[in-house]
Amino acid sequence: MRRVLITGLGVVSPLGNDIGSVSASLRSGASGIHRLRRIDTADLKVQIGAEVDDTVFADPDSDLNYSHLDRFSKFAVKAAAEALLDSKLPPEAFERMVAIIGTGCGGKETDEETYCRLYKEGKLRAHPITIPKGMPSAAASQVSMQFGIRGPVFSVTSACSSSAHAIAQGVMMIRSGMADVVIAGGTDAPFTFGLLKAWEALRVLSRDTCRPFSEDRSGLVLGEGVGMLVLESESHALARGAQVHAELAGIGMSSDASHITDPSVDGAVRAMRLCLQDAGVSADQVDYINAHGTATKANDVSETAAIRKVFGAHAEKLKVSSTKSMHGHALGAAGGIELVSTVLAMQQGFVPPTINFTRPGEGCDLDYVVNAAEPMEFDLALSNSFAFGGLNAVLAVRRFQD
């Protein structure tokens, strides 16, 4: 089976607009959660979120074209540019390169603008490019067009597992021989009035901050952004002398097939076990888990129980953290941002913290690495993504050794 290596990283998140700033924020335990600034919150019960700094699009020296793009597509183009630059791929690689970009929401900014135009302003026509701007595959298409990617290009949507599923699909295409180079990840921009009102109706949003695994956790905090990775077959990467960040060693996917919003321990267990099996490793070889860790009452208990079931006695030795405590829950982008964060932590020798932690909640009894990053060299980590609809995806990254 062909090994899959990570040779490029790109990220836009509430913790920073590039790899360097995000890495520094993860290490320092910074928070990207604050009162929402981009929309009027007067009629919202929940007025906090983890927003991206809009200066990300203001670089006067950039050749990127953001005109007529929804916000989620802008994120994708920006992070793809960073990942591709980081990979130092030669121009000929783009001819057969694959782009797979996950999204949970698609172009919600475009939807909101359209509905305001029709129902609030009384206009009789939508903007002519409403469909191509807001369609879920718009981000993938824009990445393809702006960088000349001519291989298969498509989107994956599976709610909060969209990024991880997109990355897993990229792994499978490389292993099968269908591709040598894939850029994959996920993007979402959910901060619109209509979507926030819909999330309020679910009653899972926190009004103060994100406290995964804490007794006083009060729900998730929405975030936005993108995480992108360049994946290459080992032979392709080594033949061109590429810098390798890590090996993407295993993938595991499952479905709960039980409830649309209530997570299943068994579904998460299957995904983690399949990932370990795919990577060809035993449970006691894993050093760190970047948990799904949403800070909802149901998720944190079920994920903890699943980890204990998979890892047994080794669960006591695992380091676990939820970086959502810092960058919020970016929905379809979460898995991409979290995998990039895990790779950065592996490279730089630290475990990112679960900030805002007070005291352990009932059923939350693992080593969650709380409130400050912990220096640690580790060789194997999992990144968990569990979505509404019971759609689970787990990715394993391993320190690369030629």
- By annotation, the residues acting in catalysis are 160, 292, 329
**Coil, helix or strand at residue 252:** strand
Token pair listed for 344: 């950065």
Q: Which residue has the tokens 């894993």?
A: 286
Element (H, E) at 228: strand 225-233
The secondary structure of residue 355, as a DSSP letter, is T
Q: Is the dihedral of CA 383, 386, 387, 393 positive or negative?
A: positive
**How many degrees, rounded to 5, is the angle at CA 64 between CA 35 and CA 7?**
90
Q: Is the dihedral of CA 270, 276, 282, 283 positive or negative?
A: negative
Token pair listed for 181: 């180079």
State the Cα–Cα distance between residues 354 and 15, nearest whole angstrom: 14
Which of 341, 346, 334, 342 is closest to 393 using CA atoms?
A: 334
Token pair listed for 339: 């995998």
* Sheet of strand 225-233: strand arrangement: 153-156, 98-102, 181-188, 225-233, 4-12, 246-255, 391-398, 380-387, 288-290, 319-321
Question: Is 93 in contact with 149 (CB distance < 8 Å)?
Answer: no
